[in-house]
Structure 1
Amino acid sequence: MSGDWLGSIVSINCGDTLGMYQGRVSAVDQLSQTISLTQPFHNGVKCLVPEVTFRAGDIVELKILELPVDSRRQTNNQFPENTTGMTTDYINGTAKQRPVETSNAQNIPHRSETRSNDSVGTSPQPCSKSYVDKQSEGLNQPKNFRRRHNSWSSSCRYSNQATPKKSGPKNGQLKARDDECFGDDLEEIPDTDFDFEGNLALFDKAAVFEEIDTHERKGGGGTGGGSKSRGTPSDRAPTYRHDENILESEPIVYRRIIVPQPGGKEYCTDSGLVVPSISYSLHKKLLSVAEKHGLSVEKRLEMAGICASQMALTLLGGPNRLNPKNVHQRPTVAFLCGPHIKGAQGISCGRHLANHDVDIILFLPNFVKMLEPVTNELNLFCQTEGKQVSNVKDLPDCPVDLVINCLDCHENAFLRDQPWYRAAVDWANQNRAPVLSIDPPVTDQEQGIRAKWSLELGLPLALGEQAGRVYLCDIGIPQKVFREVGISYHSPFGCKFVIPLHSMLE
């Protein structure tokens, strides 16, 4: 009887420790209770040894996957359809026989019968299918056959990735469909790539749209056909972007500021609004009328200091430079101030920057008598952690992050002849730091310190190229004050207090 099972393909379950083995039976010894498999597979992977022998005590379950040809014929002759055969289970070393239903059609699943078995919900073990595929393909497939890497049999190598079994006709239908899509029954896989460009050239987009338009004009579309016609561009409803206003409004007026005495130069904002320059005499008159209506010098200094400090914080890097996690890179700003209102504006800006954790070095020469606004701003600055120096030699030798120039004055031009002024200009030019000038005067000759940015107050003056890029800040002058001095004014600031100005070609 033991010789009848030689050549059978079996699956042996040796428990969790040894795992699953599949192979062809080469020897059965009833005395020593052993069975040998040739060309064995362990958990779906081919073993390195040509033959493996098992004892009955190591076998938990034994399944016969395929009988030899002679034994299959004898079995078909011995057992009629829908009769009961026997299968052997080795449990704890003891051989037991149990009945199993057999039939001529479904007793032993063949490779050609896999699809029919899957459709009724019965499928062989994945590892056994992999072994049968390897045995049959080794004999039947040509040499240039290439296996698909995503096939069902190649996934059986990984025995740990077990898929939970489901029963029912629905699962069987899905399994059959998966085998049709991912099965390894292809005889040949084409090696040539799909020609996307050639296939796309076969589609004539213009001809298709022309055919659709022709169909709509002949009655397929429009009111009669019930579908929406494409129409001509003039007949289509206008489309709008997400940032466009869909409501009709009045035409935009870009020249909203008209001055009685043009300063000789015009600027424009990022929105295209025209901002004309004014002369220094008109600018002085505007500030005088504003002071008469309550906009005192102290308020103007405070607004100028806040706007200048906000611009300086942006130039220093903004939130990327000034944050609690970057305390080791605190920026350093040097202020060059004179004993006048322009210098007081710089002192006010330095006080606000010091409150924002910026290292401030304020240069102000010693004078016996200074203006009251300058003295008041200096007293407030001394309450901060900023440093004040009166000698240019006390300024840092290494480059600073920013230099704010408030040395110049509109009226006291004689200050340029002072030794402290020339020393401060030389230090700024040698420091190689970018310079921001606050409310610089209009001069015919080159300034001693060439600025990269200049900040104007209220309305700009006609500055030259030495002023760099011009910015404008709002110091809070009411609209009726502009009207009183003869200026038709509409605010160009929008949602900001500091805006850039671009020089317009004359």
Structure 2
Amino acid sequence: MAADWLGSLVSINCGLTLGVYQGEVASVDQASQTISLRQPFHNGVKCPVPEVTFSAMDIKELKVLDMATGSSYNNNNSSSISKTSLGQRVVTDIPPSYSGHSSSQISRGSCVVNSTQASTSAPITILTRKGPQGVSGGRGSAQVTPKKNGVKSGHVGGQMRQRDDECFGDGVDEGLDTDFDFEGNLALFDKAAVFSQIDGSDRHGNQRARPRSTPNEQTQSRYRHDENILEVKPVVYRQISVPVHGGKEYCTDSGLVVPSISYELHKQLVAVAERYGLSLERRLEMTGVCASQMALTLLGGPNRLTPKNVHQRPTVALLCGPHVQGAQGISCGRHLANHDAEVILFLPNLVKMQESITSELALYDKTGGKQVATVKDLPVSPVDLVINCLDCHENPLLRDQPWYQAAASWANQNRAPVLSLDPPVGGQPQVVEAKWTLALGLPLPLAEGHGRVYLCDIGIPKHVFQEVGITYHSPFGCKFVIPLHSA
């Protein structure tokens, strides 16, 4: 009778495509020639549906792993298929429900049903809420497409696959179809306790000693990632001292103190440096490079000076006088023109020019930059940057000249930011208000109105400073232009 099969543990091999199913026989339908398995396993993995139904034409091989103890079906029978060894019990009596089936040949003594009829049906799938497809699972709610078991065809390959299913098919999590609770799992993590353990304190904030640490390690203060530097000796922030205080002090971003010097000491320092070979031409070149580098940064640097931005070249107006400061400005304009900036040089047309001015103009003319002698030839629209080199240290009376007043008036009306290059020190207020000021070597005691002060390295050696009585240690670090702050 078909009821004799209920509760038995069987293994159904549906071929390479559909794989092997194992489970308890829940029902056998003689009319439709189907068999249903309760709590099925597919290739050793727990199926997400409680019941699967197979058709006789899809069954390649059927093995009885354990027969039911009684003729009636036990609903509480939930023995694990993987724990039943293959061939533990051999059934010699086959129920007559399958003995007369014309499409299957049942071999007595081995409990194997070999299907001789070629299967033309589609792969076995599980019934979903949308409707049955192939073999149906009566109480299932998810659709499962069987995987290829990857074993070779034949009886030996089936036995090896069966052994794998029995060894590794037990203890499979039945809740694999449920979503993982991330919030609940995160709530189990006590972040306060973990971070307190990292910080060396308990959950209440009480500091405790770290294991395997020396007393020196316990007393060390904590540092940020940019402060974790081994210090051999304390840092000395006042590394520059001058014989005569200039009246004002500055400090760098790293805290180093940079005192100002008087213009007389500055002239003495330049004279000693020139005696050792740091000529005016070298100082002009160094000043021009540093000033142009700062100007290129103010103009936008790599964000603007790119090959794709040739139609928006920055425009720089250079206001220069007939003196050394003017020669420094011309040198700066030459380097700016070499870096694809549009430079307009204003220099009054005077009869007598210094030699440094003449040599710098000869180099500047080779760059293709524009030079004007009157203010009316300067742009009417605002430019990107104005570099002021009109003032002179030795001759403050130049401010009374008409060309100076006209150029200063144009700079104030142009509404462009102004960079003042090596301005002089005096009691008079600045005619052209600057946003930035670039000092050379060591700063002069500049008054208010010069904007933010920057310092550039013009290449004066350390022993030259010592010869004029200045204890000097370079504050520039890895840069040639650094900002200064009022101390």
Match of 2:126 among 122, 130, 136: 130
CA 1:203–1:451 in structure 2 vs 1: closer, same or farther (change >3 Å)? closer
Match of 1:282 in 2: 265
Distance 2:228 2:255 in 1: 18
CA contact (8 A) 1:262 1:278 kept: yes
CA distance in structure 1 between the partners assigned to 2:192 and 2:307 by the alignment = 60
Query: Who is 2:287 aligned against?
Result: 304
Matched, 1:262 2:245: yes
Alpha-carbon separation, structure 1, partners of 2:165 and 2:219: 49
Q: 2: distance between equivalents of 1:207 and 1:443?
A: 60
Separation in structure 2 between the aligned mates of residue 253 and residue 281 of structure 1, nearest angstrom = 28
Structure 2 residue identity aligned to 1:442: V
Aligned residue for 1:411, secondary structure, equals coil
**Structure-2 residue corresponding to 1:44:** none
**Secondary structure of the corresponding residue to residue 493 of structure 1:** coil
Once the two structures are superposed, residues 70-89 of structure 1 have per-residue CA deviations (whole angstroms, 9 ceiling, x without a partner) of xx96443448xxxxx746xx
User: Over residues 336-389 of structure 1, what are the superposed CA-to-partner deviations in whole Å (9 max), with x where a residue is unaligned?
Assistant: 111111001000110111111111110111111111111111111111110001
Q: Residue 381 of structure 1: which of 357, 361, 364 is its match? A: 364
Structure 1 Cα separation of the partners of residues 145 and 245 of structure 2: 84
Q: For residue 348 of structure 1, what is the amino acid of its counterpart?
A: S
Q: How is 1:161-240 mapped onto 2 (pairs within 5 angstroms)?
A: 165-167=150-152, 169=160, 173=164, 195-196=184-185, 199-200=188-189, 229-230=211-212, 236=218
| Distance verdict in 2 for CA 1:176–1:293, change over 3 Å | same
Q: Say if 1:351 and 1:178 are closer, same or farther in 2 by CA, change over 3 A.
A: farther
State how far apart, in whole Å, the 2-side matches of 1:279 and 1:234 are: 48
Gap change, CA 1:318 and 1:203, over 3 Å in 2: closer
Aligned to 1:500: 483
- Provide the C-alpha distance between the structure 1 equivalents of 2:238 and 2:462, rounded to a whole number of angstroms: 16
Counterpart-to-counterpart distance in 2, 1:280 and 1:444:
13
Counterpart AA for 1:449: V
Secondary structure of residue in 1 paired with 2:343: strand
Q: Output the CA distance in 2 between the equivalents of 1:412 and 1:405.
A: 16
Post-superposition shift, 1:248?
A: 5.2
Q: 1:428 aligns with which of 411, 417, 420?
A: 411
SS of alignment partner, residue 405 of structure 1: strand
Q: Which moved more, 1:310-319 or 1:354-363?
A: 310-319
Give the deviation of 1:296 after TM superposition.
1.7
Partner of 2:373: 390
Structure 2 counterpart of 1:416 = 399
Identity in percent: 56
Q: State the SS of the aligned residue for 1:262.
A: coil
Contact map agreement 2:106 2:112 (CA 8 A) in 1: no
Quote the residue 1:483 is aligned against.
Answer: 466
Q: How much does 1:178 deviate?
A: 8.4
What secondary structure sits across from 1:258 in the alignment?
coil
- Cα deviation digits, residues 273-297 of structure 1 (max 9, x gap): 1110011111122112222232221
Partner of 2:98: 76
Give the aligned residue type for 1:63. M
* Contiguous gaps of at least 5 residues in structure 2: 1-13, 15-28, 33-55, 61-93, 116-120, 203-208
Aligned-partner Cα distance in 1 for 2:194–2:228: 34
Residue equivalent to 2:53: none
Q: Which has the higher contact order (CA 8 A, sep 6+)?
A: 2
One-letter amino acid matched to 2:302: P
Letter in 2 for 1:468: G
**Higher mean displacement: 459-468 or 343-352:** 459-468
- In the superposition, relative to structure 1, how do residues 174 and 478 fare at CA in structure 2: closer, same or farther (>3 Å)? farther
The CA deviation at 1:493 is: 1.5
Secondary structure at the aligned position of 2:57 is classed as strand
Determine whether 1:337 maps to 2:333. no
CA–CA distance in structure 2, aligned partners of residues 208 and 478 of structure 1: 53
Could you tell me how far 1:470 is from its partner in structure 2? 0.9
Equivalent residue for 1:313?
296
The one-character-per-residue Cα deviations of 1:104-162 (angstroms, maximum 9, x if unpaired) are 966499xxxxxxxxxxxxxxx99413249965978546xxxxx46xxxx3457xxxxx7
Partners in 1 of 2:163 and 2:416 — Cα distance?
Answer: 78
Opposite residue 443 of structure 1, the aligned amino acid is G
Are 1:354 and 2:337 matched, yes or no? yes
**Retained in 2: the 8 A contact 1:86–1:100?**
no
* Equivalent AA in structure 2 for residue 445 of structure 1: Q
Contact 2:435/2:452, CA 8 A, preserved across alignment? yes
Provide the rounded CA distance (Å) in 1 between the counterparts of 2:186 and 2:356: 77
Q: Matches of 2:407 and 2:384 in 1, distance apart?
A: 17
Gaps (5+ residues) in structure 1? 1-10, 12-23, 28-61, 67-71, 80-84, 88-98, 110-124, 142-146, 157-161, 214-221, 223-227
Residue identity opposite 2:412 in structure 1: N
- Judge conservation of contact 2:125–2:136 (CA < 8 Å) in 1: no
Structure 2 counterpart of 1:452:
435
Contact 1:270 1:500 (8 Å CA) reproduced: yes
Cα distance in 2 for partners of 1:346, 1:452 equals 17
Q: Which residue of 2 aligns with 1:327?
A: 310
Q: Is the 8 A contact 1:362 1:387 kept in 2?
A: yes
What do residues 150-194 of structure 1 show as CA deviations (whole Å, max 9, x unaligned)? xxx3457xxxxx7573455469747996897687998xx699996
2:82 match: none
Corresponding residue for 1:51?
none
Tell me the CA shift for residue 458 of structure 1.
Answer: 0.7
Alignment check: 8 A CA contact 1:76 1:104 kept: no
TM-score, length basis structure 2: 0.66
Partners of 2:276 and 2:196 in 1: CA distance:
74
Counterpart-to-counterpart distance in 1, 2:145 and 2:448: 75
SS in 2 for 1:264: coil
Contact 2:330 / 2:360 at 8 angstroms: preserved in 1? yes
- Mapped pair 1:443 → 2:426: yes
Determine if contact 1:65/1:128 at 8 Å carries over to the other structure: no
1:267-321 Cα offsets, whole Å, 9 max, x none, are 1112211110011111122112222232221111111111111111222222222
What is the TM-score with the length of structure 1 in the denominator? 0.64
In structure 2, what is the Cα distance between the partners aligned to 1:321 and 1:202?
Answer: 46
CA distance in 2, matches of 1:127, 1:464: 91
